Amino acid sequence: MGIMLLAGVLMGVERLAGGYWVHMTCLAAIYLVLAASYNLVNGVTGQFSLAPNAFVACGAYVTSLLTLTPAEKALSFILEPLVWPLSVIHLPLGLALIIAGLVTAVMAFGMGFTVFRVRGDYLAIVTLGLGEVIRVVANNAQSVTNGPLGLKGITYLTHNLWWTWGLAVAALFVLTRLAKSSYGLALKAIREDEGAAESMGINVFWHKMLAFTTDAFLEGMAGGLLAHLITTISPSLFTFFLTFNLLIIIVVGGLGSMTGAACAALLITFGGEWLRVVEEPMNILGLSIPGIPGMRMVIFSLLLMACMLFMRRGLMGKSEFSWRWLLACLSRRRGRP
């Protein structure tokens, strides 16, 4: 039922909405994938990782280098030629996305041997540093990434809406199932008490690696779709600000809730755009109100603060959305005096 409803909404957006709102709907789906997969590490497993920008960058570059034609690559790599065999490879998007996810997962697997030697705030510092290392490497590897000039002319997909939301639905399905499985229960046990989890026979290190590499695989694929949505990428796109946005989304949605992260991704992506109206001049009942530049972000920040003050567990807490859950919430509200 939910899939049919979503398909109907997407068909309506594709046929009736303008190009800008189609673009925003695709972007919301990409943020949904990024936030839900990031929540597997931060929310379900309780590991304070700050590395998503590195995973998104890796996926975006790998996908772009595999899908650009040799002629398009030659136009971008002016200062220094692209290394072989990347200079001659040209693959379809689906295969390129899978390869990008696998490459990103392998990178995360290698990083895991370093980052999971520490815990808590130290883990955050190490992953933040490694994320910045990846960005600096992308900025200086001229013969692979084209350095600060980045990659241009990436193909914009005419069916981007279905690619992005197809990945979003698949990722959400896999992540919710994983969170409810025996592996998910082990990850939650690690979040609550690593020592107790280890004493119960749970291999803490390898379960952390499972969450970390799964997160990286999905974020790498989402990064590839992001590259094909904006058609131009450079190292300046993958700063800590991207990770910070995802952190806001999973906290607002509820740490540990995949569907909460999905709802927050939609709310924050579209909410930020709808608030643009406050920056434009308005006429209310004959009263002319001038537009105030920057007011959108002020209101947005105040709303986030209110959410944190009055909904400290986020929109969904640690619960997952279901029709049964929705009916239970409505019945509880009706039962109140």
What Cα–Cα distance (Å) separates residue 37 from each residue in 34, 131, 214, 333? 5, 17, 7, 32
Angle at which helices 160-180 and 204-230 cross, to 10°: 170
Identify which of 26, 30, 6 has the alpha carbon closest to the alpha carbon of residue 261.
30
Give how far the C-alpha of residue 77 lies from the chain's centroid of Cα atoms, to the nearest Å: 28
Residue by residue, pLDDT tens for the chain (337 residues) are 567 777 787 778 778 777 888 889 999 999 999 999 999 999 899 899 999 999 999 999 999 999 999 988 888 888 888 898 888 999 999 999 999 999 999 999 999 998 988 888 889 999 999 989 999 999 998 999 998 999 998 988 767 888 899 999 999 999 999 988 999 999 999 998 888 998 888 999 999 999 999 999 999 999 999 999 999 999 999 999 899 889 989 988 888 888 888 888 998 888 878 877 777 777 766 677 777 777 777 887 888 888 878 777 777 777 676 656 666 666 665 555 5
* Short-list 276, 256, 254, 275, CA closest to 265: 254
pLDDT attached to residue 186: 93
Residue 257 near residue 317 (C-beta atoms within 8 A): yes
Number of independent structural domains in the chain? 1
- Give me the pLDDT at residue 336, please: 54
**Sign (positive or negative) of CA dihedral 11, 222, 170, 254:** negative
Tell me what pLDDT residue 18 has.
75
Residues 6+ apart with CB under 8 A from 261: 32, 35, 36, 38, 39, 43, 249, 250, 253, 254
Tokens of 2: 């939910």
Distances (CA, A) of 334 to 138, 307, 320, 327, 337: 55, 24, 21, 11, 8
In percent, how much of the chain has pLDDT > 90? 42
Q: Which of 48, 13, 8 is nearest to 27 (CA)?
A: 13
Range of the domain at 284: 2-335
Give me the helix-helix angle, 19-39 and 160-180, nearest 10°: 20
Omega before residue 92 within 30° of 0, cis: no
Amino acid, single-letter form, for residue 192: E
> For position 37, what pLDDT does the model report?
94
pLDDT in tens, 247-278: 989 988 888 888 888 888 998 888 878 877 77
CB-based contacts of 32, cutoff 8 Å, min separation 6: 168, 171, 172, 261, 262, 265, 266
Q: What is the pLDDT of residues 110-123, one digit of tens each?
A: 999 989 888 888 89
